[in-house]
Amino acid sequence: MFNVDKIRQDFPILQRQVNGKPLIYLDNAATSQTPQQVIDVIVDYYSHYNSNIHRGVHTLSQEATDKYEAARNTIQKHFNAKHAYEIILTAGTTHGINLIASGFSSLLKKDDEILVSALEHHSNIVPWQMLCEKTGATLKVIPMNMDGELVMSVYDKLLSKNTKLVFVNHISNALGTINPIEEIISKAHEVGAAVLVDGAQACPHLKPDMQALDVDFYVASAHKMCGPTGVGMLYGKEAWLKKLPPYQGGGEMIAEVSFEKTTYADLPHKFEAGTPNICGGIAFGAAVDYMNAIGFEAIAKYEHELLDYATAELLKIEGLKIFGTAKEKTSVISFNLEGIHPYDVGTLLDKMGIAVRTGHHCAQPIMNFFNIPGTVRASFAFYNTKAEVDTLVSGVKKAKMMLS
Ligand code: PMP
């Protein structure tokens, strides 16, 4: 039985006040909150076994290494990767994307094409533009319609024998659209292209299965799924990870070093140069365990109820328009009030203790598509409540009155 009141007790931050009002945290698409169970793991690490991993013979180093590798195994099982060494622990989604983009710079040539969706976060646009500049490859865009859904008939036409890579997010951070990644992956594979899926927004809401998806690369950030910032994961199929060159040189990623020749470590260490975010990796594993204990089916069902309720209530406000009306979407509502700048709405909501995000959400092409400067974005997590939605709705009404 999903008990939101009990779940909320796990999150100390939800007890705080902002501007004299109880915090209502609706900026989960930017960063989720951290439960006590994960905070305890972080405190335990620094209190009891903080040390460097992999090369140490002493007890602390071995304890830290065991816990770090156990976290990798947890993440492997969660994402159903075939091997633990297909999970590269990164600094986050952006790091994972750049690692792959950098690796492909030695594999692409002029006339090769890269397809990217119109729904992308800047971190899944800019690295590919940089890659195209380096290699002479061309970037093509899979367009979207007014509901914020990808136009799959155009995708079919864009795919050709020249397509080498396809990049798409699983769920759009700006609109909440769930993209049909199964179809995108299978069609890309028919022409021999590899697919990277940006799962930053999907992983807080669902449990993607790497083997069932048959995806080539999948990236995520721990801080969107109840874990700490500065850590994330890159899944890559073994064959691809073996083929790609290392991203950064340094300690940890080598087998043998001499001034004449250096050989690289096996996976996953080949892509993990330097001392990693050890505590972050261990806490990432704890966050995955925490979310699984609640259960992704229960999370999805509850968040969907919140989404439907909030959508219906917000739409009762005259002059309020929601951007992103896809049939398949998660608990993200991007909206504007007619004639009012989103920044002003967000600032007034903050005075009422309500945290929303305003602006272009690192997705300027989407804002340009709708010809708007930005939106107000309320994004819900499984620890939000209907009562909080009601406070948001009355806050938006108040903001409208004050700003009209
Ligand atoms: N892609 C998407 C869809 C995102 O929402 C975000 C975070 N807003 C990122 C990539 C970047 O994630 P990070 O900042 O954790 O690297």
User: What are the structure tokens assigned to 309, written together?
Assistant: 């309720």
Query: For every one of its 404 residues, what pLDDT tens digit does the chain have, with 9 covering 90 and above?
Result: 799 999 999 999 999 999 999 999 999 999 999 999 999 999 999 999 999 999 889 999 999 999 999 999 999 999 999 999 999 999 999 999 999 999 999 999 999 999 999 998 888 899 999 999 999 999 999 999 999 999 999 999 999 999 999 999 999 999 999 999 999 999 999 999 999 999 999 999 999 999 999 999 999 999 999 999 999 999 999 999 999 999 988 888 888 888 888 888 899 999 999 999 999 999 999 999 999 999 999 999 999 999 999 999 999 999 999 999 999 999 999 999 999 999 999 999 999 999 999 999 999 999 999 999 999 999 999 999 999 999 999 999 999 999 99
150 and 263 together in one domain: yes
CA of 57 to the centre of ligand 1 (A): 37
Of 219, 244, 323, 233, the closest CA to residue 281 belongs to 233
351 phi and psi, to 5 degrees?
-60, -25
93 phi and psi, to 5 degrees?
-55, -50
354 and 278 together in one domain: no
User: Using a 6 Å cutoff on CB, does residue 200 contact ligand 1?
Assistant: yes
Instruction: Tell me what ipTM this predicted complex has.
Output: 0.99
The structural domain count of the chain equals: 2
Please indicate, yes or no, if residue 34 is contained in any of the structural domains. no
CA of 403 to the centre of ligand 1 (A): 31
29 exposure class (CB count in 10 Å sphere: 0-12, 13-18, 19+): buried
Please indicate, yes or no, if residue 240 is contained in any of the structural domains. yes
Name residue 316's amino acid. K
Instruction: Say if strands 87-90 and 232-236 run parallel, antiparallel, or are unpaired.
Output: antiparallel
CA of 125 to the centre of ligand 1 (A): 12
User: Using a 6 Å cutoff on CB, does residue 334 contact ligand 1?
Assistant: no
Please indicate, yes or no, if residue 24 is contained in any of the structural domains. yes
Q: Whose CA is nearest to atom 6 of ligand 1?
A: 200
User: Using a 6 Å cutoff on CB, does residue 177 contact ligand 1?
Assistant: no
Domain that includes residue 382, residue range: 4-28+295-403
206 and 285 together in one domain: yes
Instruction: Give the catalytic positions in this structure.
Output: 362
Boundary (domain end) residue, out of 293, 323, 358: 293
The helix (run of H) or strand (run of E) holding residue 301 is helix 296-315
Q: Which atom of ligand 1 is the closest one to the Cα of 221? A: 15
230 and 289 together in one domain: yes
304 exposure class (CB count in 10 Å sphere: 0-12, 13-18, 19+): middle
380 and 399 together in one domain: yes
Pocket perturbation via mutation, ligand 1, pick of 123, 179, 379 by most ligand atoms within 8 A of CB: 123
Q: Which atom of ligand 1 is the closest one to the Cα of 95? A: 16
Of 379, 374, 403, the closest CA to residue 392 belongs to 379
Q: What is the pLDDT of residue 251?
A: 82
Beta bridge partners of 217: 196, 236
What CATH number is attached to the domain comprising 356? Answer: 3.90.1150.10
Please indicate, yes or no, if residue 101 is contained in any of the structural domains. yes
Q: What is the pLDDT of residue 331?
A: 95
Give Dmax (Cα) for the chain.
72
197 phi and psi, to 5 degrees?
-105, 130
Please indicate, yes or no, if residue 103 is contained in any of the structural domains. yes
55 and 103 together in one domain: yes
What CATH number is attached to the domain comprising 88? Answer: 3.40.640.10
User: Using a 6 Å cutoff on CB, does residue 202 contact ligand 1?
Assistant: no
111 and 228 together in one domain: yes
123 and 200 together in one domain: yes
271 and 302 together in one domain: no
Please indicate, yes or no, if residue 33 is contained in any of the structural domains. no
Pocket perturbation via mutation, ligand 1, pick of 99, 175, 201 by most ligand atoms within 8 A of CB: 201
CA of 94 to the centre of ligand 1 (A): 6
- How far is 109 from 106, CA to CA, in rounded Å? 8
281 and 210 together in one domain: yes
Boundary (domain end) residue, out of 293, 320, 354: 293
What is residue 323's three-state secondary structure?
A: strand
Q: What does DSSP assign to residue 332?
A: E
User: Using a 6 Å cutoff on CB, does residue 92 contact ligand 1?
Assistant: yes
User: Using a 6 Å cutoff on CB, does residue 169 contact ligand 1?
Assistant: yes
275 phi and psi, to 5 degrees?
-70, 120
12 and 62 together in one domain: no
Q: What is the pLDDT of residue 248?
A: 87
- How far is 340 from 345, CA to CA, in rounded Å? 7
372 and 353 together in one domain: yes
Boundary (domain end) residue, out of 293, 316, 336: 293
